[in-house]
């Protein structure tokens, strides 16, 4: 990919100078090369060409070249863990999928404090997000990440491939909760027993993406607010609502609705399974007027989307731009991230691919896919997607809808709070291990005795220090609320 040629050129110049007797000038400084991580449903076939153009823009605008390190959603989390734990692995810009929030990574010293860098190099980031959204990644008064302009409020949804819904004439307009899905699943399974109704894949994925019935997971679900308006920390995993949910998903699994390889297939995502025809639906985070992106991930090219539960603005902003502490050039990293909130070509390259090769603007001003396939054209993973054309299938006022939906969400009483777990690293590590062992198994319905396995899960959590961890989180939350 990136070729460092300056040192070679300089060496040649020195040789020529010595042969001709000219004075040798002071050595030129090599242009910094930053490693930018990005994820797709599948890696673009023209990844090198995208990298090359990004590098040209970055060299012109911020004085740095770019190596684009591509991953799939299915393997990003695993690679993040490996890279962030290795000081020798240069990662400068990381738009991470921080399902548990940033606090754990901050506690382990894996993320740079971006506060001063933002002030010096991130004015477009600040102008795009505003003071409220910038609070979403603050720990001990310092900023460690910046979210993207997207569906910053949190709500779950299920996405169906529309061909199956239309074929059976199913009415999904009344679906508003997980329990409402059972009859829909039954009808789909009966009509297509050769395909799974729903599923996911990846590295130990959970079914509940962010929130459940209006609770705030306080970044990692290890001590939550069951009611996001009440600052009272409790154990979500021993709540009656969670137990009922697990019995529901167990019934789905027993009926054959759920993709059976979720716990072992680490190479796909739920969306990819639906696109390839293995599943007829998948669960994800909801975004208003997002049909162009959802449709691109279905076999038929059309989807039906059912939002689930309530909408809240909660502490954790799952997708976040960060600068790891193994960044070689934090200042250049911040400048590149700022381009993702201000430069339309940088934004479109990462969202849609190369204009004229992967996409073009139609007569109505919408972005349409052309030519070579670009796996999942989307704008939620970038910084400010409102600066480029809306995808065909969306509405011209897409970004107005997004902003209005974000503004209408109920803010959690803990919005802006990040638990500083530095003094509880041992508990956090032990608890994460317990969660990895039990949670996906339970939520996707693979435990034959739900109650016994759930009780075992909770016993293991408390044995790993959950009460101590929750007490500390409550104490810090009390101080945060008192200071607001």
- Please, which pLDDT band fits residue 101 given cuts at 50, 70 and 90? low
**pLDDT recorded at residue 138:** 77
- Please, which pLDDT band fits residue 26 given cuts at 50, 70 and 90? very low
How big is the CA angle at 393 (ends 183 and 125), to the nearest 5 degrees?
105
**pLDDT recorded at residue 215:** 86
Q: How many CA atoms lie within 13 A of 235 on its CB side?
A: 19
Query: Mean pLDDT in the chain?
Result: 87
Dmax (CA) for the chain in angstroms is 86
Q: What is the pLDDT of residues 253-286, one digit of tens each?
A: 999 999 999 888 877 788 888 988 999 999 988 8
- Please, which pLDDT band fits residue 465 given cuts at 50, 70 and 90? very high
Q: What is the pLDDT of residues 353-384, one digit of tens each?
A: 999 999 999 999 999 999 867 877 888 899 99
Q: Pick left, alpha or beta for residue 312 (phi over 0 → left; psi -120 to 50 → alpha; otherwise beta).
A: beta
Residue 288 has pLDDT above 60, yes or no: yes
**pLDDT recorded at residue 219:** 81
How confident is the model over 328-337, as a mean pLDDT?
98
Q: Do the beta carbons of residue 55 and residue 339 sit within 8 Å?
A: no
The token pair that represents 410 in the structure block: 């109920």
424 φ, ψ (degrees, to nearest 5): -130, 30
Residues of the chain with pLDDT > 70: what percent? 90
How confident is the model over 144-164, as a mean pLDDT?
89
- Please, which pLDDT band fits residue 202 given cuts at 50, 70 and 90? low
- 351: nearest Cα among 386, 324, 320: 386
How confident is the model over 220-233, as a mean pLDDT?
93
What distance in Å separates the CA atoms of residue 184 and residue 280, rounded to the nearest whole number? 11
How confident is the model over 224-236, as a mean pLDDT?
94
How confident is the model over 280-294, as a mean pLDDT?
82
Contacts of 139 (CB under 8 A, 6+ apart): 102, 103, 106, 418, 420
Q: Is pLDDT larger for residue 203 or for residue 112?
A: 112
Q: Is pLDDT larger for residue 395 or for residue 202?
A: 395
**Residue 28, exposed/middle/buried by CB under 10 A (0-12, 13-18, 19+)?**
exposed
Q: What is the pLDDT of residues 38-93, one digit of tens each?
A: 999 889 999 999 999 999 999 999 999 999 999 988 788 788 888 998 888 999 99
The token pair that represents 180 in the structure block: 């409402």
- Please, which pLDDT band fits residue 322 given cuts at 50, 70 and 90? very high
**pLDDT recorded at residue 20:** 38
**pLDDT recorded at residue 200:** 84
Q: Which of 115-124, 199-208, 357-366, 449-458 has the lowest mean pLDDT?
A: 199-208
Domains located in the chain, CATH noted: 30-151+318-383 (3.40.190.10), 154-312 (3.40.190.10)
């Amino acid at each position: 990919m990136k070729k460092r040629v300056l040192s070679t050129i300089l060496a040649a110049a020195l040789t020529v100078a010595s042969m001709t007797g000219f004075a040798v000038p002071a050595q030129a400084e090599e242009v910094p090369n930053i490693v930018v991580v990005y994820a797709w449903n599948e890696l673009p076939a023209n990844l090198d060409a995208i990298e090359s153009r990004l590098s040209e823009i970055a060299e012109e605008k911020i004085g740095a070249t770019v190596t684009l390190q591509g991953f799939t959603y299915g393997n990003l989390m695993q690679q993040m863990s490996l890279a962030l734990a290795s000081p020798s692995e240069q990662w400068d810009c990381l738009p991470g999928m921080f399902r548990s929030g940033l606090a754990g990574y901050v506690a382990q010293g894996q993320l740079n404090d971006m506060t001063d860098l933002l002030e010096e190099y991130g004015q477009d980031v600040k102008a795009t997000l505003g003071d409220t959204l910038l609070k979403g990644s603050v720990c001990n008064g310092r900023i460690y990440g910046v979210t993207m302009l997207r569906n910053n409020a949190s709500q779950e949804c299920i996405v169906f491939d529309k061909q199956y819904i239309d074929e059976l004439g199913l009415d999904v307009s009344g679906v508003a909760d997980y329990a409402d899905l059972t009859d829909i699943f039954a009808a789909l399974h009966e009509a297509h027993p050769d395909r799974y109704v729903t599923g996911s894949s990846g590295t130990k994925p959970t079914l509940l993406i962010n929130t459940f019935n209006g609770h705030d997971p306080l970044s990692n679900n290890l001590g939550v607010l069951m009611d996001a308006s009440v600052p009272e920390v409790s154990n979500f995993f021993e709540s009656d609502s969670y137990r009922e949910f697990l019995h529901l998903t167990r019934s789905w699994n027993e009926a054959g609705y759920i993709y059976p390889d979720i716990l072992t297939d680490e190479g796909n995502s739920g969306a990819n399974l639906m696109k390839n025809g293995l599943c007829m639906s998948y669960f994800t985070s909801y975004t208003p007027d997002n049909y162009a992106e959802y449709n691109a991930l279905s076999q038929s090219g059309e989807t039906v989307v059912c939002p689930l539960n309530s909408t809240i603005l909660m502490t954790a902003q799952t997708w976040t731009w960060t600068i790891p502490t193994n960044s070689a050039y934090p200042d250049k990293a911040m400048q590149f991230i700022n381009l993702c909130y201000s430069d339309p070509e940088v934004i479109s390259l990462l969202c849609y691919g190369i204009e004229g090769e992967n996409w073009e603007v139609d007569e109505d001003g919408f972005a349409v896919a052309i030519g070579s396939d670009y796996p999942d054209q989307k704008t939620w993973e970038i910084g400010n997607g409102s600066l480029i054309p809306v995808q065909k299938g969306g509405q011209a006022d897409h970004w107005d809808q997004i902003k209005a939906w974000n503004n209408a969400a109920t803010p959690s009483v803990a919005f802006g709070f990040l638990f500083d777990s530095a003094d509880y690293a041992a508990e956090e590590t032990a608890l994460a291990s317990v969660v990895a062992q039990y949670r996906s198994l339970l939520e996707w319905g693979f435990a034959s005795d739900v109650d016994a396995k759930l009780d075992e899960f909770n016993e293991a959590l408390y044995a790993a220090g959950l009460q101590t961890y929750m007490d500390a989180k409550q104490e810090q939350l009390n101080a945060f609320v008192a200071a607001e």
